[in-house]
Amino acid sequence: MNRIAVIGLGTLGGAVCKNLSTMECIEELVLVDFDILESRNIHNSVYRASQIGDRKVDALTEIIEDDIDIIPIHEKYKEGKTNLPECDLIVDCRDVVCNRGKEIDVRLYITGKILIIDCRKNIRTQHIYKGSYRSQLSKSELNSAGFFASQILCSDQITKMKEQNLVQKIDLNLLPTLINNEMTEKNKNRIDIVYDSAVGDRLQCLEENIEPILCLSRTKDIDVFIGEKHFDPFKKLNKLPQVAKTKYAVIPHNSLNNSNDLIKALTNIVKEQCNIVNFIVTLRKVNGETFIELLEETGAA
């Protein structure tokens, strides 16, 4: 899924778009909403009080990541009449329950504390009505709903659900349990981090970045910068050998099988930098490019 259209940018729609914007596969988001932000829209949402009075499509464009393309459509969506660009997926997050035909691929909504992912087509209702949350949802629960919805929307699972006209239900109260179960399962095969030299101890904040870096290594070479990278799209950098003797190195594609491989690769890079005591390991994404920065740990906030 490279281009996704989201109709309805309320509390749930905003959270879904914010999470979709961070997904590697998303290149373009089409945002559809005719509404203006009011003070009642701010509570537990991604929007800011300073944006009250702005169009929702403009406010959300300002908030989400700037390394993907945004197509804002400020109009009331009418299926078959609103002119949408060609998309891989059209998602309806409106709080208005109405008929839908074949254009909308997925309808997302929350009832009680259950997230519903509805991939049925040609739905008819007796009355068009505005929905509302039956129970007060916290910002954390809404963010979790947006996160899990974005994960499913960008997975092969959504394709199967569309083909079979399925409905998926996720209990927001069970999300912490699901996360704990997933972490327990992953930890069964995880190799504990063992530093075999004093150099390894110089790597700070590594543990939280291990899984994302290992996943990235399976898809591409990873650029590693000593210090902050100043991105210049017009300047071609010459890639140096795997072990950095200056400020730039490369971890080759598929060279990391586990956490110890990552520690060894980064240790080989930082041991050449004797003038820096500790490094903070950060994984950044700028203009669609993901890379590692090893920043000097200075003790500053």
pTM: 0.58
Confidence (pLDDT) at 201: 61
**Minimum mean pLDDT range among 56-65, 154-163, 187-196:** 187-196
More confident residue, 124 or 106: 106
Cross-strand partners of 289: 286
The string of pLDDT tens digits covering residues 142-152 is 888 898 899 99
DSSP secondary structure, 95-146, as one string: SEE--B-SS--EEEEEETTEEEEE---SB--SS-EE---SSPPPHHHHHHHH
The confidence band for 274, taking pLDDT boundaries of 50, 70 and 90, is: low
8-state DSSP, 220:
S
Confidence (pLDDT) at 244: 44
* Domains of the chain by residue range: 3-176, 200-296
Q: What is the percentage of the chain residues whose pLDDT exceeds 70?
A: 79
Q: What whole-number distance in Å separates Cα of residue 284 and Cα of residue 214?
A: 14
Confidence (pLDDT) at 158: 92
Confidence (pLDDT) at 235: 44
Confidence (pLDDT) at 89: 94
Long-range Cβ pairs for the range 257-260 (8 Å, 24+):
258/190, 258/191, 258/214, 259/190, 259/191, 259/192, 259/193, 259/210, 259/214, 260/191, 260/193, 260/194
Confidence (pLDDT) at 140: 84
Give the domain 3-176 fold. Answer: Rossmann fold (3.40.50)
